[in-house]
Amino acid sequence: MKSRGLLLYAFAYLAFLYLPVLVLPIFSFNNSQFIAFPLSGFTTRWYAALASDTAMQHALGNSLRVAIVTALFSTIVGLTAARAITRYRLRGTKLALGFISLPLFIPDIVLALSLLLLMEATSFPLSLVAVAIGHLLICVPFALTVLIARFEGFDRNLEEASADLGEGEWMTFWRVTVPLMLPGIVASLLLTFITSFDEFLLAYFLSGTQATLPVYIWGQLRFPERLPMVLALGAIILTASVGLVILAEYVRNLGARKPMVGA
């Protein structure tokens, strides 16, 4: 039967996608330094070791700071750009949109290299600030995509009604635009946060001595005895990432169900 074959294919595909990912949490609870079957017993000692690893915690702090700043800035930039693109008929809107989205299609390694060269040429210190600038480039397109979609479902008359009722542009933005855009804004914040938090290549090139968490993990792979601890860390990041993405989707749908046109 045709549909049965397709079902089988779907399961095989899902297994191919997610089995490797499952290896991470499984071995993070394995009571052995060596990553090999059979499993030798259940332990949480790798997680306990994480809790006392200050270098790791420092890297985590770096990552969080970069991700929060990147999420805030790319969402603000995305919000104003999305509003301009959807509200006004400007010359070259499509071209500008194309250029803003371009970093998504430039290979990360090329982007990382060119940013590194630029930082060197301008003697900009390699630091978390440099990483955040790089992340901004790849996060703004995501923010823009989410926010443009939200703006397009937004009845222009609502902003006109606010002006008609005596509010200037700024108060209209605060009292009408932002509340109605809120689900889009939250989704954009979460999405750009995750993108920045998980990003490795740009951070590896631009972080200098201030390693972010992915860069720190990469560094730890040189020490086999620390590998199970890295697995435990990976399992935590995986769980948190999936949780955030689900949350972002949930918030986005929450907003989508409420009508945005003038009810």
Residue 31 corresponds to which tokens in the numbers above?
């009571």
CB neighbours (10 Å) of residue 143?
30
Closest distance to another protein from the beta carbon of 177 (Å): 11
Please state the closest distance from residue 96 (CB atom) to another protein, in A: 21
Are the C-beta atoms of 215 and 208 separated by less than 8 Å? no
Instruction: In whole angstroms, give the CA distance from residue 134 to residue 111.
Output: 8
**Can you tell me the distance from the alpha carbon of 234 to that of 236, in angstroms, rounded to the nearest whole number?**
5
Least distance in angstroms from the C-beta of 257 to another protein: 10
For another protein, give the closer residue by CB, 164 or 225: 164
Residue 238 to residues 126, 143, 200, Cα–Cα distance (Å): 28, 22, 15
Token pair, residue 140, equals 């703004």
Nearer to another protein, 237 or 251 (CB): 251
Q: How far is the CB of 181 from another protein (least distance, A)?
A: 10
Are 177 and 193 in contact, with CB atoms under 8 Å apart?
Answer: no
CB of residue 154 vs another protein: minimum separation in angstroms?
10
Q: How far is the CB of 173 from another protein (least distance, A)?
A: 12
Cα torsion at 99, 104, 105, 110 (round to 10°)? 100
Q: Which CB atom, from 15 or from 171, has the smaller least distance to another protein?
A: 171
- Comparing CB distances to another protein, the nearer of 242 and 261 is 261
Specify the residue, 162 or 210, whose C-beta has the smaller distance to another protein. Answer: 162
CB nearer to another protein: pick between 149 and 158 = 158
Tell me the two tokens of residue 160: 């006109």
Residues of this chain that bind another protein (CB under 8 A): 155, 157-158, 160-168, 171-172, 175-176, 179-180, 258-263
Across-strand partners of 30?
42
